[in-house]
Structure 1
Amino acid sequence: MSLKHFSVDYDQVNERGTFSSGDVLSGRVTVVAGEDTKVQSLTVKAKGNVEVKWYGQDGASTVLHRDEKKYFCLERIILQDKKIGDGSEIIHQGRSVYPFTFVIPNIDMPSSYEGKWGRITYSLQAQLTQSIGKIHKTRIEFPFRTKSEFPFAAKSEMPIVVLQEQQCATKISFCGSGKVTLNVTSEKMGLTQGETMDVSVEVINGSNSAVTPKFFLCEKQIFVARAATTVHTSEILFGTGESVSAWTSRTIRNVLSIPPQLSPTFFNCSMIKLEYTLKVTLGGQLARDPDIKLPLVILPGSSQPCHQKAKCGSFHSKKVSN
Structure 2
Amino acid sequence: MGKLRLFDIILDKPQTVYQAGELITGRVVLELDEPMKMRGLRVLFHGAANVHWTESHSTGSGKNRRTTTVHYNAHESYFEHIIVLYGKAPGESGDNPSHPQGQFTYQFQFLLPPGLPSSFEGAWGQVRYWVKGTIDRPWRFDHNCKRPFTVLSHLDLNTYQPNPSQGLEGKNEKTLCCWCCASGPISATFRIAKQGYVPGEPIYINAEIENNASRKMKASRVEFKQIIAFHATRKTRHSTNTIQTLQKGEIDAGGTESWENVQLVVPPLPPSHLVGCRIIDIRYILNFVVDPSGPAFDLEVPLEVIIGTIPLQQMWSNFSTNMNYNTAYGMGTEPTPMVAMPTAPPQGPPPTNPSAPGAPPPTYAECVFGKSRIADDQDNQYTRGELDYAPIYTYYNFNQGADQGQGQQPPQAWTS
For 1:79 and 1:20, locate their aligned partners in 2 and report how far apart those are by CA, in whole Å: 28
1:291 — aligned with what? 300
Q: Is the 8 A contact 1:209 1:246 kept in 2?
A: yes
Aligned to 1:173: 174
Structure-2 residue corresponding to 1:252: 259
2:213 and 2:257 map into 1 onto residues whose CA distance is 14
Aligned length: 303
- How far is the alpha carbon of 1:10 from its aligned partner? 0.9
2: CA distance, partners of 1:141 / 1:207: 55
Q: Secondary structure at the match of 1:266?
A: helix
- Match for residue 217 of structure 1? 224
| One-letter amino acid matched to 2:285 | T
Native 8 Å contact 1:136 1:315 kept in 2 = no
> Do residues 54 (structure 1) and 63 (structure 2) align?
no
Letter in 2 for 1:9: I
CA positional deviation for 1:249? 3.2
1:159 to 157, 161, 179: 161
Q: Once structures 1 and 2 are overlaid, which stretch shifts more, 171-180 or 19-28?
A: 171-180
Distance 2:126 2:35 in 1: 40
Match of 1:240 in 2: 247
The code of the aligned residue for 1:193 comes to P
Quick one: distance in 2 between partners of 1:217 and 1:200? Answer: 14
TM-fit CA distance, 1:32: 1.1
Give the aligned partner of residue 130 of structure 1: 137
Counterpart CA distance in 2 for 1:195 and 1:210 is 34
Whole-angstrom CA distance in 2 between matches of 1:317 and 1:183: 57
Separation in 1 of the partners of 2:56 and 2:238? Answer: 14
Shift of 1:138: 1.5
Separation in structure 1 between the aligned mates of residue 78 and residue 244 of structure 2, nearest angstrom: 36
Query: Equivalent residue for 1:65?
Result: 72
Is the contact between residue 17 and residue 305 of structure 1 (CA under 8 Å) also seen in structure 2?
A: no
Q: Secondary structure at the match of 1:194?
A: coil
In 2: Cα distance, 1:44 partner to 1:279 partner: 46
How far apart, in 2, do the equivalents of 1:231 and 1:190 lie? 23
| Counterpart in the other structure of 1:36 | 35
Choose the corresponding residue for 1:84, options 79, 82, 93: 93
C-alpha RMSD of the superposition:
2.7
Instruction: Give the drift of 1:171.
Output: 0.9
Which residue is 1:304 aligned to? Answer: 363
Amino acid at match of 1:3: L
Pick closer, same or farther for the CA change 1:147–1:168 going to 2, 3 Å: closer
Q: Aligned letter for 1:86? A: D
Tell me, in whole angstroms, the C-alpha distance in 1 between the residues paired with 2:247 and 2:11.
45
Partner of residue 192, structure 1: 198
- Deviation, structure 1 residue 237: 4.6
Tell me the amino acid that sits aligned with residue 95 of structure 1: Q
Q: What residue is the counterpart of 2:7 in the other structure?
A: 6
Partner of 1:97: 105
CA spacing shift, 1:237–1:29, aligned 2, 3 Å: closer
Stretch deviating more after TM superposition (27-36 or 74-83): 74-83
Q: Which sits farther off after the overlay, 285-294 or 169-178?
A: 285-294
Contact 2:225 2:284 in 1 (8 A): yes
Q: Which letter does structure 1 place at the counterpart of 2:197?
A: L
Greater relative contact order (Cα < 8 A, sep 6+): 1
Q: Alignment partner of 2:25: what SS?
A: strand
The answer (yes or no) to whether the contact 1:138–1:315 under 8 Å persists in 2 is no
Aligned to 1:153: none
Comparing 251-260 and 41-50, the one that deviates more = 251-260
Could you list the runs of 5+ residues in structure 2 that have no partner in the other structure? 59-66, 177-181, 311-360, 368-374, 384-416
The question of 1:229 aligning with 2:230 is answered no
| Match of residue 143 from structure 1 | 150
2:124 aligned residue: 117
**What is the Cα deviation at residue 85 of structure 1?**
4.3
Letter in 2 for 1:271: I
1:81 Cα shift?
A: 5.0
Q: Which residue of 2 aligns with 1:272?
A: 280
Q: Residue by residue, what CA displacement relative to the aligned partner does 1:263-320 show, whole Å, maximum 9, x if unpaired?
A: 3322421111111111111122474421111112222366131439xxxx999649xx
Higher strand share: 1
Distance 1:306 1:213 in 2: 31
Cα distance in structure 2, aligned partners of 1:316 and 1:94: 24
The structural deviation recorded for 1:17 is: 3.7
Structure 1, unpaired ranges of 5+ = 151-156
Whether the 8 Å CA contact 1:238–1:256 is kept in 2: the answer is no
Deviation track 1:214-272 (CA, whole Å, cap 9, x = no partner) reads: 11112211111222211111334521135433223343224232342333322421111
For 2:220 and 2:382, locate their aligned partners in 1 and report how far apart those are by CA, in whole Å. Answer: 57
Answer whether contact 2:271 2:307 (CA < 8 A) is retained.
yes
Q: Contact 1:138–1:316 at 8 Å: present in 2 too?
A: no
Aligned residue for 2:290? 282
